[in-house]
Amino acid sequence: MEQVLNDKIDEYKEKLLKSIIEVVNIPSVKDEPKDNAPFGDRIKEALFVTLDIAENLGFKTKNLDNYIGYAQYGDKEEGYIGVIGHLDVVPAGEGWKFPPFSGHIEDEKIYGRGVLDNKGPILAALYALYAIKESRLKLSKPVRIIFGTDEESGFNDVRYYLKKEKPPVMGFTPDCKYPVVYGERGRANIQFEIEYNDKNYKNAADEFFGFLNDYILSSKSCGDRLGIDFSDAEFGVMEMRGHNIHIEDSKFLFNLSLSYPAIVSIDEIIKRIKSKLSKNIKLNLLLNYNPVKFDKNSFLIKSLQKAYEEVTKLDGTPVTTTGGTYAKIMPNIVPFGPSFPGQKGISHNPNEYMSIEDIILNSKIFAQAIYNLAK
């Protein structure tokens, strides 16, 4: 079966590359919301163009009020396999050797903002499903390729999706790395604050900056002085980053970001930090995404591991990641691809690219993975 799908993807190579460049040409950076464009006109355009590509490949498509859309193979509405990526991109920035939305090809690489993160991979997944469809392979479950539009800015696309649709029974997001990722760390943003007035300004400042010095600035990046230096063999050690001291509305404020292993809950972390606070300093939890962890021997993980190993002939032992993907918010989803072991993270950098070889190899892996899950 692998060879049948590989041959189809090789046959559709030029169509796939053309589709990727067409979508990369759209500067789909989040903008002010407008009527019928919750994340701006250019993101809406990218969604329209991508769904049009899917329709022309013969898929049924659905646009959920320009928040998110999908292409489906199979008639049933429930019990589907989901592959979710995103069409929104971070701003291009400076330092490009080619126009950042040109989709320029040089040295067998496509250059452009979003080609790796995440337009190339999700279109590679669409063409993987197209290869399955055109090979007339029978599947027992429907499959959706889901095109998100707010991954870079807060996952409001998926929140909207889950109000309108049931989640997939299983699936993956090609927005991380290989081999299959069975666990993501939790992520949290915390803010400390202390109020002051004209009379107690100095005392408040001394109390606030004394706390920061004693427990943040003098702490290791694992948060040892706060008592939150949790670690385990699978996820590694807690990572703590402090940033953005500022004054607002007669308050001193300081933000702290945490990347924490799955062995601890955010409630326990907050409890330990609060035990170090003086009476006038308050703690606000601004954001939290709990860790994601799947059984390494589950059908989902084993099926994706098998697809990776069969297509690449590489070791596919499941791994964890410090990154954050749609797996944080879309149930039953794990990160899978597109970057291979040893490749550097270039997603948000100038001169973002994806090699044509990697695009095609990803599509072949995705085809086998989708087939393994849905057959």
Active-site amino acid positions? 88, 151
Q: Report which secondary-structure segment, H or E, holds 196.
A: none
Q: How confident is the model at residue 198 (pLDDT cuts 50, 70, 90)?
A: confident
Q: Report pLDDT digits (tens) over 53-104.
A: 999 999 999 999 999 999 999 988 889 999 999 999 999 999 999 999 999 9
State residue 218's pLDDT score: 86
Q: Report pLDDT digits (tens) over 341-366.
A: 999 888 999 999 999 999 999 999 99
Interacting residues of 313 by C-beta distance below 8 A, sequence separation 6+: none
User: Among all chains, which residue has been given the structure tokens 């879309």?
Assistant: 330
* All domains in the chain, ordered by first residue: 2-183+293-374 (3.40.630.10), 186-289 (3.30.70.360)
CA–CA gap between residue 371 and residue 363 (Å, rounded) = 12
Lowest mean pLDDT among 27-41, 58-72, 218-232: 218-232
Q: CA 149 from chain center: how many Å?
A: 11
Hey, which bits of 79-225 come out as E strands?
81-86, 104-106, 109-111, 143-148, 170-173, 176-177, 181-184, 186-195
Q: Are 77 and 168 in contact (CB under 8 A)?
A: no
